[in-house]
A and B are shown apart, each in its own frame.
Chain A
Amino acid sequence: MSAEFILQQLLIGISLGSIYALIALGYTMVYGIIQLINFAHGDVMMVGAYVGWYCVTSLHMPFLPALLTAMLACALLGVVIERVAYKPLRKSTRLAALITAIGMSFFLEYGMMFIVSPQTRTFPPVFPQTIYHIGPVIVKYGDIVIIAVTVVLMTLLTLVVKYTRIGKAMRAVSFDKDAAALMGINVNNVISATFAIGSALAAAAGVLVGVYYNTIGPLMGIMPGLKAFVAAVLGGIGIIPGAMLGGLVLGLTEVFVSAIGFSTWRDAGAFLILIIVLIVKPTGLLGRNTREKV
């Protein structure tokens, strides 16, 4: 294996990991705040991809407006899903909410299939087909966009969570919902905002995936959704830097397994890493060990 080969594979791993990280962020935010595994998250990503596709092909928008429209539309969708399906269940068992999430996931998948048919759709060329040579490594214009969008959105998110009122409120709610409510925080609005932001991030990932790999279909969200969940858990679910780390670890693991010639074991490798990490450090890579109160 030459150095050039390794560098190229590393780059692929980072670009793949960025996408996982972007989806994982939404997962982890929602989990952090209401401890719900939102299985419909991957499907929100799919809807985002379709909105982006519609904007580009039918409304002839350029990339950035299409991306923003998709994010906006999915933010709305996320809020609606939360209000309709999850909010009534906030007081019941976690499993009931989980099953509802699974139901929502099926609903989005097959509702979309009903509307747009299962036919695979493609984007017209959105990015310039430029290819850059950085030393021995080939970098596509699309790679740069993916990594850039991911970095920008993550930075924005971190800033929002750290320094804005709503971010503070989110942290407060995630720490203790009841205490936050007593302090005058409108918990419902905070949760809605979390869903809106998480879903917008998923939509961004959906458009990026759609444009980069140029195939979108109603079931495209299932596997990335599951992988992103793995990434979120790997990094420590509920922790924003954890999602980024988890996504990168996952992307690099997959690329590594493929590069050594076991491409069909790729997903198995990803899950195995997950199980091993969980056994060694049950709360994920960046998770803190919380002592359970009696």
Chain B
Amino acid sequence: MRWTKYLIWLAAAGAFYALTLALSGAGFISRFMLMTMVQICIYIIMALGLNLITGFTGQLSIGHAGFMSIGAYAAGFLASTYGGRVSAALTEALGGAGGAAVYYIFILATLAAGAFVAAAFGVLLGLPTLRLRGDYLAIATIGFGEIVRIVLLNTKALGASSGLPVKNSVGWTTAYWLMLLSVVLIYNFVNSSHGRACISIRENEIAAETMGINTTKYKVMAFALGAGLAGLAGGIYANHMYLIHPNSFNFLKSFEILVMVVLGGLGSITGCILGAVVMTVMNNALSAFPEMRMIVISVLLVVMMIFRPNGLMGTTELRLPFRRKAAGGKEDVTHGL
């Protein structure tokens, strides 16, 4: 049962992927659309991470762009500093095609490194600051994000104010599959006992503690995982966008991610995916009217919040109607992945 489900899932994801490849091959998807799609994947990964921290665990964090920049600079630095040498050595050792294949693994390794470094910073920030509550935590995380930005602006080895040029070596394929992987990861985490523990902290921290849940441990865990995902997204961003600049990761970027998560629905995986897609598409769709773009977005945001204060999805997940009928909640809990 479990495996058939996986297979169906995988087949559908693969089918969509094949569809995009076919469409872009036939010229129906322009480069700009493809880049937009990659950006959507990046933002979905970011939003998933923040949703785990803010939506599921209930810790308000507005420093997510800081983690993203850490991941972006870690991956970008590795790729730009060692990429050329690794690529040359590999081509020599394995020939063109084999070398390129192994080089791709190197790039994936830089992404993993970016995610890992960001996660480490997540723990580092998480441990001391998680005793802060609500808005105090929010401002501390904003502060963290800004400190990261200022450090990067002052670090000559990372390009400082000129930015760090990184070759474009990651495209739609990588972004898409890593995004799916992140969805699966977060889905499984949230539906595991760890995830339940996180949700219990959101619902009532004191009650959770009374029930014997080590709240600090789970908060740090959520922070590490969320930061790691932000780092992964940053790595993809760095390897896709040709250049990374510290000011691309200022606190307005953190706001943007938070808006996606809240707009979609805190504590809903499908919701934050929806939020990321809606915001990115809206941003690009309005790019022909630059002076009106932000006005329209801000008005929509305010109106949205007034009429749907819990976001598009609330805490519920989007399901297929016929599936909902067939599925018992009990099965969901016991057999959930």
Contacts and interface: CB of A to CB of B under 8 A. Distances in A.
B305 A111 contact: no
A88 interface: yes
A97 B302 CA distance: 9
A148 interface: no
Contacts of B302: 85, 100, 103-104, 107
B258 A99 contact: yes
Interface residues of B, number: 47
Nearest to A279: B128
Contact of B206 (A113, A279, A283, A292): A292
B301 A92 contact: no
Contact of B310 (A93, A109, A226, A278): A93
Nearest to A93: B309
B87 interface: no
Contacts of B132: 278-279, 282
B291 interface: yes
Interface stretch (B23-31, B144-152, B233-241): B144-152
B305 A106 contact: no
B320 to A, nearest CB: 28
B128 A37 contact: no
A253 B191 CA distance: 46
A111 B301 CA distance: 14
A268 B151 contact: yes
A285 B144 CA distance: 19
A92 B136 contact: no
A97 B301 CA distance: 11
Contacts of A94: 134
Contacts of A278: 129, 132, 136, 139-140
Interface string B134-169: 111011101110110011011000000000000000
A161 B299 CA distance: 34
B310 A271 contact: no
Contact of B306 (A93, A100, A229): A100
B305 A271 contact: no
B133 interface: yes
Contacts of B258: 98-99, 102
B294 interface: yes
A91 to B, nearest CB: 8
A92 B309 contact: yes
B135 A37 contact: yes
Contacts of B301: 99-100, 102-103, 106
A96 B259 CA distance: 9
Interface string A269-283: 001101100110011
B297 interface: yes
Interface in B289-337: 291-295, 297-299, 301-302, 305-306, 309-311
B263 interface: yes
B194 to A, nearest CB: 23
A294 B206 contact: yes
B262 interface: yes
A105 B196 CA distance: 35
Given A93-B310, A107-B295, A271-B143, A233 B150 contact: no
A208 to B, nearest CB: 24
A89 B295 contact: no
A89 B129 contact: no
A229 B143 CA distance: 11
B39 to A, nearest CB: 19
Contacts of A109: 294
Contact of A85 (B140, B263, B306): B306
B266 interface: yes
B143 A95 contact: no
Given A96-B262, A278-B136, 10 more contacts: A93-B266, A96-B305, A99-B301, A100-B305, A102-B258, A103-B302, A113-B291, A272-B143, A278-B129, A278-B132
27 contacts: A89-B306, A96-B310, A97-B305, A100-B305, A102-B258, A103-B259, A103-B305, A106-B297, A106-B301, A107-B299, A110-B291, A111-B295, A226-B251, A229-B139, A237-B136, A267-B150, A268-B151, A271-B142, A271-B146, A275-B144, A275-B147, A278-B129, A278-B136, A279-B132, A282-B133, A282-B136, A283-B136
Query: Considering the complex of A and B, which 7 residue pairs feature the smallest CB-CB distances, nearest first?
Result: A92-B309, A271-B143, A103-B301, A106-B298, A110-B294, A107-B298, A96-B309
Interface of B: 54, 60, 128-129, 131-136, 138-140, 142-144, 146-147, 150-151, 153-154, 206-207, 251-252, 255, 258-259, 262-263, 266, 291-295, 297-299, 301-302, 305-306, 309-311
Interface of A: 31, 35, 37, 85, 88-89, 92-100, 102-107, 109-111, 113-114, 222, 226, 229-230, 233, 237, 264-265, 267-268, 271-272, 274-275, 278-279, 282-284, 292, 294
